[in-house]
């Protein structure tokens, strides 16, 4: 996609094409619209919404909640950054929105983004890691959803993928055996694979806790000398150890579904 020079101006809300297929989220959140409207009334400044323009249409890509909030307040225009691009361009770019700003994405939002990426013409031959980077999720998540879509025949089993090595981008053929393994994975094998990241994290946490325990015991012996710096360090490490314990508890509670999107 070729992007024109950045153009920011007030655009009539009435001309916006609000295609929910271009919306990165599953839907609008009424509470967020209300909160944004209250902030706008209080004088808060919001960044421009993103619009992709093509002949006869101005497709809203990022800023659905902001536009809804301005409408609720009776405004007829919205500050917008306008780029030239097709609907396909708009849909592909929309998958990158809301990763680091705005309302935190839900698992359903992330799932929606990955499905759209895997079924998009630009994403069909990309690797799991490339899709993950584009959608802002973990590549385990992409792998799991890809398997689901392949097994339900919503997408074809990937025979090739685009890879970049040493700055050179080329198409790499996948071994047939790899595809067969993807299709033949049992639920038990999928569950075991999903648990691997959490198991590794828990092991690292326990190792860190062990080292912290040793450091705290050593500091506890040294504190008798009245060194204020040592006391502050002791308190800091105690807090850190507590945080690690809490993190491990959260992992145990959430289990492998945290790798979902």
Same domain, 155 and 225: no
Q: Is residue 1 part of a domain?
A: no
The predicted structure's pLDDT at residue 67:
94
CATH, residue 18: 3.90.1530.10
- The verdict on pTM exceeding 0.75 is no
Per the domain annotation, does 102 fall within a domain? Answer: no
Check residue 154 and give its pLDDT. Answer: 80
Q: What is the pLDDT of residue 151?
A: 85
Q: How many residues does the chain have?
A: 261
Query: 118: domain CATH number?
Result: 1.10.10
Last residue of a domain, one of 185, 216, 239: 185
Pairing status of strand 57-62 against strand 16-17: parallel
pLDDT of the residue at 56: 86
Which residue ranges in the chain fall short of pLDDT 70?
A: 1-6, 98-103, 158-202, 209, 216, 218-234, 236, 238-239, 241-261
d(CA 146, CA 80): 35
Which of the listed residues 94, 122, 152 is the one where a domain comes to its end?
94
Say whether both 181 and 200 belong to one domain.
no
Per-residue pLDDT tens for 62-95? 889 999 999 999 999 999 999 998 889 988 888 8
| Domain end position, chosen among 50, 72, 94 | 94
Angle at 52 between CA 46 and CA 58, to 5 degrees: 95
Range of the domain at 198: 191-259
Nearest to 165 by CA among 121, 124, 127: 127
Query: Residue 38: its pLDDT value, please?
Result: 95
Q: Which two tokens stand for residue 161?
A: 């993928």
pLDDT value of residue 66: 93
Two tokens, residue 260 = 């979902």
What are the tens digits of pLDDT across the range 90-139? 888 888 876 666 667 788 888 888 988 898 888 888 888 889 888 888 88
Give phi and psi for 162, each to the nearest 5.
-90, 130
């Amino acid at each position: 996609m070729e992007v024109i020079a950045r153009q920011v101006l007030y655009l009539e809300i009435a001309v916006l094409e609000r295609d929910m297929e271009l919306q990165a989220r599953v839907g609008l959140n009424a509470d967020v619209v209300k909160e944004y409207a209250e902030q706008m009334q209080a004088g808060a400044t919001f960044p421009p919404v993103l619009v992709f323009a093509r002949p006869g249409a101005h497709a809203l890509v990022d800023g659905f909640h902001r536009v809804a909030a301005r409408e609720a307040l009776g405004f007829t225009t919205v500050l917008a950054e306008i780029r030239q691009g097709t609907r396909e361009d708009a849909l592909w770019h929309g998958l990158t929105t809301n990763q680091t700003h705005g309302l935190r994405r839900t698992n359903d939002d992330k799932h929606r983004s990955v499905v759209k990426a895997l079924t998009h013409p630009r994403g069909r031959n990309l690797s799991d890691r490339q899709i993950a980077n584009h959608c802002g999720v973990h590549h385990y998540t992409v792998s799991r959803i890809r398997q689901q879509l392949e097994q339900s025949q919503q997408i074809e089993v990937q025979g090739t993928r685009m890879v970049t090595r040493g700055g050179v981008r080329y198409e790499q053929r996948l071994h047939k055996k790899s595809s067969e393994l993807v299709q033949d994975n049992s639920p038990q094998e999928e569950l075991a694979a999903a648990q691997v990241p959490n198991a590794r994290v828990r092991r690292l946490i326990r190792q860190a806790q062990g080292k912290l325990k040793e450091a705290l015991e050593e500091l506890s012996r040294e504190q008798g000398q009245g060194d204020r710096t040592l006391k502050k360090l002791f308190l800091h490490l105690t807090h850190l150890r507590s945080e690690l314990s809490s993190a491990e508890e959260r992992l145990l509670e959430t289990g492998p579904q945290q790798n979902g999107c």
